[in-house]
Amino acid sequence: MATTGILRSRRSAAQLLAIASVEREIRAIDPVAGRKYLRDFRDAYRSYQRVLAPSAVRYEIAKAGIVLVGDYHALPNSQRYLAALLRDYDFHQRPVALGVETIFSRDQHILEEWLRREIDEDELRQRIRFDLDWGYEWAPFYELLSAAREHGSFIYGLDCMPREDLRRIGARDRHAADKIAEIRHRHSDALILVLFGESHLAPQHLPAMLAQRLSEPVLTVLQNVDALYWRAAGEQHDRVEAVEVRKNERDHVLCVFNATPLEKYENYRLCLDRWRRSDHDHSAPDLGPTFYNLIDGMVRFLGINQYSPHNTTQPRLLVDLMPEVYSRSSNALLRRLLSRKGFTSAERRSLVHRVRERGSVYLAPINAIYVRQFRMMTSAEDATRFLHQACRGLPNLSNGRAHGTCSTLATSLDRDNAFYTSVLEHALAFFGSRILYPVRPAMRDADLADLFDVTREDLEQQTSLRFADAVEVLDFLTRHRALNSRRPDCTAESFAPAPAFTGRKYEYVVEQLGCLTGNDLYDAYLEGRLTTAALRKLFLAHIEELGVARATYFQLRSRLR
Residues 497-517: tens digit of each pLDDT = 788 899 999 999 999 999 999
Rounded Cα–Cα distance for residues 397 and 378 (Å): 21
Least confident among 98-107, 304-313, 465-474: 304-313
Least confident among 64-68, 383-387, 409-413, 513-517: 409-413
Residue-level pLDDT at 223 = 98
Rounded Cα–Cα distance for residues 278 and 273 (Å): 10
Backbone dihedral region of 367: left (phi > 0), alpha (psi from -120 to 50 degrees) or beta? left
User: Given a cut of 90, is residue 32 above it in pLDDT?
Assistant: no
Backbone angles phi, psi at 239, to 5 degrees: -150, 125
Is it true that the peptide bond before 285 is cis, omega within 30 degrees of 0? no
Which percentage of the chain shows pLDDT scores above 90?
75
Residue-level pLDDT at 398 = 65
Indicate the SS3 state at residue 266.
Answer: helix
Rounded Cα–Cα distance for residues 121 and 111 (Å): 10
What is the band of 330 on the pLDDT scale with cuts at 50, 70, 90? confident
Contact assessment for residue 198 and residue 222, using Cβ atoms and an 8 Å cutoff: yes
Residue-level pLDDT at 409 = 42
Residues 60-80: what's their mean pLDDT?
Answer: 96
User: Given a cut of 90, is residue 342 above it in pLDDT?
Assistant: no
Rounded Cα–Cα distance for residues 543 and 277 (Å): 44
Residues 212-218: what's their mean pLDDT?
Answer: 93
Residue-level pLDDT at 179 = 97
Q: Which residues contact 189 (CB under 8 A, 6 or more apart)?
A: 94, 95
Residue-level pLDDT at 27 = 82
Question: How many CB atoms are closer than 10 A to CB 264?
Answer: 22
Residues 309-315: what's their mean pLDDT?
Answer: 85
Domains of the chain: 30-261 (3.40.50.11550), 283-406 (no CATH), 409-561 (no CATH)
Backbone angles phi, psi at 559, to 5 degrees: -70, -35
Rounded Cα–Cα distance for residues 192 and 209 (Å): 16
Residue-level pLDDT at 222 = 98
Q: Which residues contact 106 (CB under 8 A, 6 or more apart)?
A: 157, 160
Largest CA distance in the chain: 76
Least confident among 263-277, 405-419, 541-555: 405-419
User: Given a cut of 70, is residue 487 above it in pLDDT?
Assistant: no
Residue-level pLDDT at 275 = 86
CA dihedral sign of residues 538, 539, 542, 543: positive
Residue-level pLDDT at 131 = 93
Residue-level pLDDT at 263 = 96
Rounded Cα–Cα distance for residues 368 and 147 (Å): 38
Residue-level pLDDT at 24 = 87
Most confident residue range from 26-30, 68-72, 488-492: 68-72
What is the band of 404 on the pLDDT scale with cuts at 50, 70, 90? very low
Least confident among 225-234, 279-288, 304-313, 422-431: 279-288
Contact assessment for residue 103 and residue 79, using Cβ atoms and an 8 Å cutoff: no
Residues 140-150: what's their mean pLDDT?
Answer: 97
Calculate the average pLDDT of the chain: 90
Instruction: Identify which of 148, 175, 145, 151 has the alpha carbon closest to the alpha carbon of residue 161.
Output: 175
Burial degree of 398 (CB within 10 A; 0-12, 13-18, 19+): middle
Residues 204-227: what's their mean pLDDT?
Answer: 96
Residue-level pLDDT at 279 = 57
pLDDT tens digits, 75-133: 999 999 999 999 987 755 789 999 999 999 999 999 999 999 999 999 999 999 999 99
